[in-house]
Chains A and B, each alone.
Chain A
């Protein structure tokens, strides 16, 4: 995973709550078996509307998405994170993220930064008054700045550390393989296994 420390880019105000993952990437794009190449799929239904924010310059070159509360709800599809990244987004700001989306983001190096809704509103106004304004998201200090606004954001320490170091989750876990083996030895015999298969 790529390291994340600080990112500065054009902010995109998405004034909408409950942006579910079906909106971020509709199911029809989930048939692909690759992990990249989803930029065309991002918000594909909304992008058919010429007035949608990503169809307007300079927002189409944005890399910091500033969204309403409950971003990433619904389906667990990690394709939502891949699509945001492939389009060019490095970070999403919201006052509340769905748990699975937040987890998926952390695995892929997309920073999901949780801000107070009041601060989101201030940044929305700034970005609407000065289209193309840049937003800086600084992970070491856990702050977002935009124009004269400086706001703190929340992210759990473990994800922050992994993002800062660019660490691979599986590699970290496999350092504790002995613990896994020890646990497996204590697992009760009555717990089921899928093999050998028993059928009705």
Chain B
């Protein structure tokens, strides 16, 4: 009988080009084939240069795709990029892609956008694949049952030259989320709660598999939100077994298999689940029934609490390092321990990033704000994840909902998630952000970030303080709050 395997082990084994020599602790890394290499302007220039200097070719241009996202402006995209270094970096990507024959979706193209939004949208991300990108949020693609990992620039060059990666074996962790999410509680709250539970280093060395009835009930876009932030728990990757929801999402996308290929693919995809008698190295349980909207108070994604809770006291942390980190975080965030989270007033709301910038995210936020008024002191940026998402949202009239509300409707890109373009926080400015990192200075020097879900972002924009949809007065034409959205 075949050895029982987890999903991650099955995908791994299907891609071994060459098994590493040795056993156990002395095992050398396996050489794995990479099915899809996603490229963007920030982590690729030095890799292309490395190829050029060594006289090497790009082995598989047909398994490589590039887009412009990190540096791109979200205003005036028809004009030359004002920042000279950004413009140079974008131009370098264009030159490199032309030289090496890489498909590129540039600013202004309907398929341009955040690399982790573009791949799934085109149907290039499929179950059972290995996907890499010089970006830590590559874990997003795990939502399809793919093994998807962020890599550094040296590894980008390695994949370009060989279409493989040398990878050390991983450990497996099951994240079991059972139950039903309450209205207003979303995938974002699940993953923020998971990270708070296991910590920013808790997943280190592991591939996480999200399982259980609450995960099965989620849409693909919601699953992407969860897998996206696996890296924030330190994990090498995170994935969800494919099912009918996955297949329905795939069907008809430009690069989805067609005809007989679809049937063959489906047969394979149906084998992509953890065997009943397989064991995980670690299992973690989370109760979906009792979960509340979750929000961060500190400067790493593990420093989070329920929105109904208070800013914690450093003394509450047993570990000396965690206590010191909490003290430092409170100082940076300008918060007093014991303050109810819901009394924290914010200046800016950012709806966007590879975590929460897809159609469902925009719809969920629009459903909250429709027919309501924005707090006049709040600045709200809505940045669709891709040009395609922006077009679809406009076809549904969501742009009008956001604009009527007083939010800024921008062009696609990474934007304020990391502030490589002009979308940045000022010193001391406080932001409720649907992005993934609340690190010091992440969204702009001295900026203060609270990570939230799209519906919490929307409710916060209305009330001016961190809020959940359930804190709002009924709106005249309020639509039902979606529970399936990210």
Q: Could you say which residues of chain B place their CB within 8 Å of the CB of A193?
A: 62-63, 255
Q: Which of B426-454 contact A (CB under 8 A)?
A: 437, 439-442, 445
- Contact bitstring A66-81, B, C-beta under 8 A = 1, else 0: 0011100111111101
Residue of B with least CB distance to A106: B154
Q: In whole Å, how far is A113's beta carbon from the nearest beta carbon of chain B?
A: 16
- In the complex, whether A150 has a CB less than 8 A from a CB of chain B is no
A192-B124, A195-B61 known; A169-B158 Cβ under 8 A: yes
**Which of B82-90, B241-249, B275-283, B375-383 has 4 or more CB atoms under 8 Å from chain A?**
B82-90
- In the complex, whether B268 has a CB less than 8 A from a CB of chain A is yes
Q: In whole Å, how far is B33's beta carbon from the nearest beta carbon of chain A?
A: 5
- In the complex, whether B474 has a CB less than 8 A from a CB of chain A is no
Q: Which of B3-51 contact A (CB under 8 A)?
A: 17-18, 20, 22, 25-26, 28-29, 31, 33, 35-36, 42-43, 45-46, 49
Are the C-beta atoms of A103 and B200 separated by less than 8 Å? Answer: no
Are the C-beta atoms of A81 and B152 separated by less than 8 Å? Answer: yes
Are the C-beta atoms of A180 and B126 separated by less than 8 Å? Answer: no
Q: Which of B31, B46, B420 contacts A28 (CB 8 A)?
A: B420
**Which of A10-18, A53-61, A135-143 has 4 or more CB atoms under 8 Å from chain B?**
A10-18
Are the C-beta atoms of A75 and B321 separated by less than 8 Å? Answer: no
Are the C-beta atoms of A22 and B439 separated by less than 8 Å? Answer: yes
A96-B204, A189-B261, A192-B124 known; A157-B43 Cβ under 8 A: no
Q: Could you say which residues of chain B place their CB within 8 Å of the CB of A34?
A: 46
- In the complex, whether A8 has a CB less than 8 A from a CB of chain B is no
Are the C-beta atoms of A104 and B154 separated by less than 8 Å? Answer: yes
Q: Tell me the complex Cα distance, A183–B264, Å.
A: 19
Q: In whole Å, how far is A94's beta carbon from the nearest beta carbon of chain B?
A: 10
Q: Which of B20, B61, B437 contacts A74 (CB 8 A)?
A: B437
Are the C-beta atoms of A23 and B264 separated by less than 8 Å? Answer: no
Give the interface centre of A32, A45, A99 by most chain B CB atoms within 10 Å: A99
Q: Tell me the complex Cα distance, A75–B42, Å.
A: 12
- In the complex, whether B135 has a CB less than 8 A from a CB of chain A is yes
Q: Tell me the complex Cα distance, A75–B28, Å.
A: 26
Residue of A with least CB distance to B15: A183
Q: Tell me the complex Cα distance, A152–B64, Å.
A: 42
Residue of B with least CB distance to A99: B236
Residue of A with least CB distance to B83: A31
Q: Tell me the complex Cα distance, A27–B89, Å.
A: 13
Residue of A with least CB distance to B418: A27
Are the C-beta atoms of B154 and A74 separated by less than 8 Å? Answer: no
Are the C-beta atoms of B264 and A189 separated by less than 8 Å? Answer: yes
Residue of B with least CB distance to A157: B26
Are the C-beta atoms of B129 and A191 separated by less than 8 Å? Answer: yes
Which DSSP category, helix, strand, loop or mixed, fits chain A's interface? loop
Q: Could you say which residues of chain A place their CB within 8 Å of the CB of B26?
A: 157
Are the C-beta atoms of B43 and A78 separated by less than 8 Å? Answer: yes
Number of A-B residue pairs with CB-CB distance less than 8 Å in the complex they form: 221
Q: Could you say which residues of chain B place their CB within 8 Å of the CB of A184?
A: 33, 163
- In the complex, whether B399 has a CB less than 8 A from a CB of chain A is no
Residue of A with least CB distance to B38: A194
Are the C-beta atoms of A173 and B439 separated by less than 8 Å? Answer: no
- In the complex, whether B164 has a CB less than 8 A from a CB of chain A is yes
Q: Could you say which interface size class chain B belongs to?
A: 35 or more
- In the complex, whether B153 has a CB less than 8 A from a CB of chain A is yes
Are the C-beta atoms of B204 and A18 separated by less than 8 Å? Answer: no
Give the interface centre of A76, A100, A157, A169 by most chain B CB atoms within 10 Å: A76
Are the C-beta atoms of B324 and A194 separated by less than 8 Å? Answer: no
- In the complex, whether B65 has a CB less than 8 A from a CB of chain A is yes
Are the C-beta atoms of B158 and A173 separated by less than 8 Å? Answer: yes
Residue of B with least CB distance to A172: B166
Q: Which of B18, B65, B164, B299 contacts A194 (CB 8 A)?
A: B65
Q: Could you say which residues of chain B place their CB within 8 Å of the CB of A32?
A: 85, 89
Q: Could you say which residues of chain B place their CB within 8 Å of the CB of A118?
A: none
Are the C-beta atoms of B264 and A173 separated by less than 8 Å? Answer: no
Are the C-beta atoms of A26 and B65 separated by less than 8 Å? Answer: no
Residue of B with least CB distance to A71: B201
Q: In whole Å, how far is A198's beta carbon from the nearest beta carbon of chain B?
A: 4
Task: Return the 7 tightest CB-CB contacts between A and B, nearest first.
Answer: A107-B154, A104-B152, A78-B152, A33-B45, A198-B254, A190-B265, A31-B85
A interface with B by C-beta (< 8 Å): 15-18, 20, 22-23, 26-28, 30-35, 45, 68-70, 73-79, 81, 96-100, 103-104, 107-108, 156-158, 169-170, 172-174, 176-177, 179-180, 183-184, 187-195, 197-200
Jot down 23 A-B pairs with beta carbons below 8 A, ordered by A: A18-B300, A20-B439, A27-B420, A30-B70, A31-B88, A33-B49, A33-B89, A45-B440, A74-B232, A77-B43, A78-B43, A78-B153, A99-B205, A107-B152, A157-B26, A158-B29, A158-B168, A173-B164, A188-B265, A191-B126, A192-B123, A193-B63, A200-B254
Besides the known contacts A16-B325, A75-B418, A172-B166, 19 further A-B residue pairs in the complex with CB atoms under 8 A apart? A27-B418, A28-B420, A30-B70, A31-B88, A31-B89, A33-B46, A34-B46, A35-B49, A70-B234, A73-B201, A73-B300, A78-B154, A99-B204, A104-B154, A170-B162, A173-B166, A179-B18, A192-B255, A194-B36
